[in-house]
Amino acid sequence: MAADRGREGGRGPDLYRAIFETIGAAIAVVEEDTTISLVNPEFTRLSGYAKGEVEGRSWTGFVSKEDLGRMLEYHRKRRIDPDSAPRTYEFRGIDKGGNVRDVRVTVSMIPGTGRSVACLLDVTDLKGAERRAREAEEEYRALSMGLAEELLRVKLQMEAVSRLREELRRAPDVSTGFDSILENAMDALGMEAGAIFLIDREGKALGLRAFKSRIEGLAVRKSYPLDGAAIESRATREGARGSRAVGEGEVSLLGTNSIHYAPIIVGDDVRGLLVLGSRSSRALSESDMAILNSFAELASNLLSAHSLRVSPIREAGALDRPFNLELGEAYLVKDDVGRAFEVFLEAILSGLEGLCITREYPPKVRRKYGLERTPVVWLTDERAEGERTVKSLQDISIMIDGFLGGGGKVVLLDGVEYLITNHGFESVIRFLQLTRSRVERKGSVLIVPLFEGALDPRQVRLMEREMKPLPSDRAAG
């Protein structure tokens, strides 16, 4: 019996007071008129007020103005019908220091008394963590959407570059191609002006070759000093690329608030500059700069292709007589360069249009063989005023392909040993295989003289496999 009385005593006022005093939540007993009649120590810690500063006051003084109306409506409903108001909700409370705290409260009515017990938890840190999580999620979503949009934009830009590359193959001249490059580059990169400048080294000038503007009144002169202080002049001299705002006191030929530029390079030479401009002062992103570089490369390729374009011209005095060699064939002439030239000349005199690419100095070739109109290109690293020169396999390939056109042409390629020395045998044999295929497809003739002693037997056999030997009697092969 004594034990039972002890257990009953444990459930008495002392136990409830101990719980009330030590529980880790703020507790307040609220009268029907909103007066706080009793609080525990945790409530004073949460609010910052001492027990005597809280008890006897209305709880409305501890609620932010934004949430007070809602809280009073809950209180009114609870007095009328306890089930009509939520038991748990959140509000912003104001502590003694004026700090706003996020508070979660659960309210229970004490039956028959009109009083209620409010259990309050400070959830400020939790709400802050939730807000940060939401912000991070929104930022991630925005970043993901932005990345997807950026990838789509870059994809469309690359497609524009690819389409333009195909269009430029059909460009009738450099000026038309430059105009297309500017138009497409401005559209792809959202620019309002663009220009292509080329270097005139003899005149020490920067010449305007193409210009487009969507800014009323914007104009560019035809020529500027290459050694000028303008940003474009410096960038051209240095072969630089960049994207930036035009600073105060700086000079820009384009006359926009920002310029974005990339060099036009043919071989190893800086030949000019592609410049875009905008009234905005923003710089291009790395991906946009890569696209700008791609457009500059198209300009380089266009300039290179047209500089390598050789127009077929029929030699004066050519006779319409049968040509003994078979069209659509590649011929190898071993250890007799003179004979290769003689057969080439015979083809020209038979009415074929010819292209001679040779290691010999072109004026000497013209005098020796009486070539007045036939294009003679010097295969060399040198530059010669008034003479066409070529040195790389790629440039030779472009030149021959453009020259063959619709077919019925003859090409003499003298200097294969020079090409092997500079590019390696494997590269040269692949080039000859490609050229042979083009000659076959276009019904033309390729003549290649070769000094057999310059190659090992295996290499000679590979070349013999790709080309027919020139018949000793010059009869049809």
Look at residue 211 and tell me whether its pLDDT is greater than 90: yes
Taking the C-alpha atoms of residue 395 and residue 413, their distance in angstroms, rounded to an integer, is 13
Give SS3 for 136.
helix
Q: What percent of the chain lies above the pLDDT cut of 70? A: 93
Q: Which residue ranges does the chain devote to CATH 3.30.450.40?
A: 150-307
Taking the C-alpha atoms of residue 165 and residue 5, their distance in angstroms, rounded to an integer, is 99
H helices of 248-386, where?
286-307, 337-349, 362-369
Q: Which residue ranges does the chain devote to CATH 3.30.450.20?
A: 18-122
Q: Which residue ranges does the chain devote to CATH 3.40.50.300?
A: 329-469
Residue 334 pLDDT: 93
The pLDDT confidence band at residue 476, using thresholds 50, 70 and 90, is: very low
Taking the C-alpha atoms of residue 80 and residue 70, their distance in angstroms, rounded to an integer, is 16
Burial classification of residue 455, based on how many CB atoms lie within 10 Å of its CB (0-12 exposed, 13-18 middle, 19 or more buried)? middle
Contact 374, 313 (CB under 8 A): yes
Give SS3 for 116.
strand
pLDDT tens track for 183-208: 999 999 999 999 999 988 777 889 99
Instruction: Decide the pairing of beta strands 445-450 and 205-213.
Output: unpaired
Measured CA angle at 180 (ends 177, 186), to 5 deg: 140
pLDDT tens track for 333-381: 999 999 999 999 988 888 889 999 999 999 999 999 888 889 999 999 8
Look at residue 252 and tell me whether its pLDDT is greater than 90: yes
Residue 260 pLDDT: 95
For residue 66, the one-letter residue type is E
Q: What is the CATH number of domain 18-122?
A: 3.30.450.20
Q: 393-404 vs 286-307: helix axis angle to the nearest 10?
A: 60
How many other C-beta atoms lie within 10 A of the C-beta of residue 395? 18
Give SS3 for 17.
helix
Contact 451, 339 (CB under 8 A): no
How many other C-beta atoms lie within 10 A of the C-beta of residue 170? 8
Least confident piece of the model among 115-124, 339-348, 464-473: 464-473
Residues facing residue 200 across a β-bridge: 205
Domain 329-469 in this protein, CATH class: alpha beta
pLDDT tens track for 150-191: 777 778 888 888 888 888 877 777 888 899 999 999 999 999
How many residues in total does the chain contain? 477
**The tokens 């700086």 sit on which residue?**
250
Question: Sign of dihedral through CA atoms 144, 146, 149, 151?
Answer: negative
- Sheet strand arrangement including 329-334: 389-390, 376-379, 353-358, 409-413, 445-450, 329-334, 468-469
For residue 195, the one-letter residue type is A
**The tokens 């932010």 sit on which residue?**
64
Average pLDDT of the residues in 93-114: 88
- Nearest CA among 147, 146, 159 for reference residue 294: 159
The pLDDT confidence band at residue 6, using thresholds 50, 70 and 90, is: very low
* Residue 472 Cα distances to 129, 225, 436, angstroms: 92, 59, 21
Taking the C-alpha atoms of residue 155 and residue 150, their distance in angstroms, rounded to an integer, is 8
The region that residue 293 occupies, defined by phi over 0 for left and psi between -120 and 50 for alpha, beta otherwise, is: alpha
Tokens of 201: 């080294």
Q: Which CATH architecture has domain 150-307?
A: 2-Layer Sandwich (3.30)
DSSP 308: T
- Nearest CA among 450, 445, 383 for reference residue 414: 450
